[in-house]
Amino acid sequence: MKPTTYEITVRGRIGPALVDAFEGMTVSVTPTKTLLRGHMVDQATLHGVLELIESFGLELLDVRRAELTT
């Protein structure tokens, strides 16, 4: 897989403590969701992030590849 940007959506707004956990990703918060956007070097990086989401008890809503416009 080529390096790709991914957008990951989780339910709820994550606060400053958790934002640190997703170092290197852009975190944007809507009233009910949090969007994590980041550059993944490979699938292993992506799975690492997913595992982090799991370990914080967050509910995963969506994972998608972003358009390469950034």
Partner 1 sequence: MSTTRSAPAELLERGDGARSSGLLARERLFAMLDPGVDRQVTLVSAPPGSGKTTLVRSWLAARAGSTAVGWVDVRRDESDPSHFWGQVLDAVRSSGVVSADSALATLVPTTLAEPAELLGHLATGLHRIEEPLVLVLDDIHQLRSSEALDGLESLLADAPPTLHVVLTSRRDPRLGLHRLRLSGRLTEIRAANLEFTAAEAGELLEEAGVRVDDADIARLHQRTEGWATGLRLAALSLARHPFPGQFVAEFAGSERTVADYLLGEVLASQPPEVRDLLLRTCILDRVNGELADLLTGRSDGHRLLHELAEANALVVAVDVGRTSFRYHQLLLDLLRLDLRRELPEEIEDLHRRAARWYADHGEAVDAIRHARLAGDWDLACELLGRHWVQLLLDGEEATLSHLLDGLPEGLAAADSEVATMLAADHLRHGRWVEADALIDSARRTIGAVPDARRSRAEAALATVQLFRARQVGGVEDVLDEADGAVEGYLGTAEQGGADLGALAVLNLGIAKAWTFRFEAAERDLQRGLALGRSIGRPYVEIGCLTALGNVATLTERIELGEKRLRDAIAVAERVGWTTHPLVGAAYMGLASTLLDRGMLAEGEQWLDRADPILTRAPEPPASVGLRHAQGMLAMGRGRFDDALAAFEDGERLVDVLHAPHVFAAVERPWQLRARLGLGDIDAVREALSGAPSTAAEWCNLSARLHLLAGEPEEALAAVAPVHTGEAAAIHVNFNIEAWLLDALAHRALGDRAAAERSTENALALAEPDGRCGMILTIPGVQELLREHPVHRTAHASHLQLLCDLLAGVEPEATGAPTTLEEPLKERELAVLRFLSTNLTAAEIGSELFLSVHTVKTHMRKLYAKLDVHTRAEAVQQGRALGLLAPARRIS
**Interface positions with partner 1 (CB under 8 A):** 10-15, 17-18, 20-21, 31-32, 34, 54-58
Min dist. Cβ of residue 56 to partner 1 (A): 6
The rounded distance, in Å, linking the Cα atoms of 2 and 40 is: 9
Specify which residues 51 forms β-bridges with.
none
- Integer angstrom CA distances of residue 58 from 18, 43, 49, 61: 10, 20, 12, 9
Residue number, 55 or 70, with CB nearest to partner 1: 55
Residue number, 17 or 68, with CB nearest to partner 1: 17
Residue number, 34 or 49, with CB nearest to partner 1: 34
